[in-house]
Structure 1
């Protein structure tokens, strides 16, 4: 596993030991970010279910100013901290050990907003549709911001998701990627 492009290109990232974390394949990660831009000019990213931190690290490597990486598992947090520590600018990352729903509530109470919100939840525990409702209700997505979810094929997204416009939906074997922006009426 490595950083695909940008400032940290080619850096190897440590994986979480065991089978409890499923990292995004480099090919899928590259495609995901190419669909997004592929480069950013500042802004903040939120990486939910961060695992190794690879998505948040990739976002900063490609031009985001900073990223917050959230995971509830101690082994994942340990690996995220190791991966961030080996980067030239570890201060651009905040690592938070917390369940996602609690973290979203905390960010909402603090009035935080993010330009890019990414989530790659464990395929067996996908609550992304509920979390989209929470993200919208708490105002966590900055104006013009983007949400990107990688989920299993068993998640059945409705044709219309209130408050969001679908930019792209792509499938990759057992995974699907959904990219949304906030509706202009919001």
Structure 2
């Protein structure tokens, strides 16, 4: 893949006023710092939460096809790519976010990723059942207090976007509790860090449900 070019390590974008910064924790791009536009509601997953999550995912990542649905800074999808995921699709509605994600991927020389500018629900609604790529790993970290998770989860399942045994990561405000989820998603891990709860689910394959 074209992202294997370590000469790019020294190329760092000068942060613009109001930029935030994230650091890739491990993998090929370990220690790389990337900027993202600080916009209302955009809050990258904290380093300690990402560290725990990717410890959970360690054995699943190599070769995984990933979807980072409410991408924001792209912290989760970028970390997955750094650790060996085969590809990542980033979806976000904000033009500034999309532009910066594309710049960061270009800076990292990652040619195994795509960035789509669209509202997440519109993008999901437009997917054609059984005609779309199926993902091995989905990251769901929507803006807080927008009640987007139940419908997003329903659409991901009903559009058949998940491979059998796919993993789904959900990050949400602790006060929300466990949202309504498809019956064949089973919780593997969960933790709480302050006001944030984060959980990992596995999708039960159809053959197991029919047995």
The two structures have a TM-score, normalised by structure 2, of: 0.81
Which residue of structure 2 lines up, in the alignment, with residue 51 of structure 1? 72
Deviation at 1:107, TM superposition (A): 3.5
Which residue of structure 1 lines up, in the alignment, with residue 157 of structure 2? 136
SS of residue matched to 1:167: strand
Q: 2:47 aligns with which of 2, 26, 29?
A: 26
In 2, distance between residues paired with 1:9 and 1:19?
28
Deviation at 1:20, TM superposition (A): 3.6
Which is further off, 38-47 or 59-68? 38-47
Where does structure 2 lack aligned partners over 5 or more consecutive residues?
Answer: 1-21
Q: 2:120 aligns with which of 88, 100, 123?
A: 100
Cα RMSD of the aligned pairs, angstroms, is 1.9
**2:154–2:181 CA contact under 8 A, matched in 1:** no
Q: 1:169 aligns with which of 167, 187, 190?
A: 190
Q: Does 1:17 align with 2:15?
A: no
Q: Does 1:123 align with 2:144?
A: yes
Cα shift readout 1:59-112 (whole Å, capped 9, x = no counterpart): 111111110000001121122112211103x21110000111122233444422
Q: Which has the larger radius of gyration?
A: 2
Which is further off, 159-168 or 74-83? 159-168
Deviation at 1:126, TM superposition (A): 3.3
Deviation at 1:115, TM superposition (A): 0.5
In 2, distance between residues paired with 1:167 and 1:6?
24
Q: 1:91 aligns with which of 86, 104, 111?
A: 111
Where does structure 1 lack aligned partners over 5 or more consecutive residues?
Answer: none
- Work out the number of aligned pairs and report it: 185
The two structures have a TM-score, normalised by structure 1, of: 0.91
Which residue of structure 2 lines up, in the alignment, with residue 81 of structure 1? 102
Relative to structure 1, is the Cα distance of residues 139 and 164 closer, same or farther in structure 2, using a 3 angstrom cutoff? same
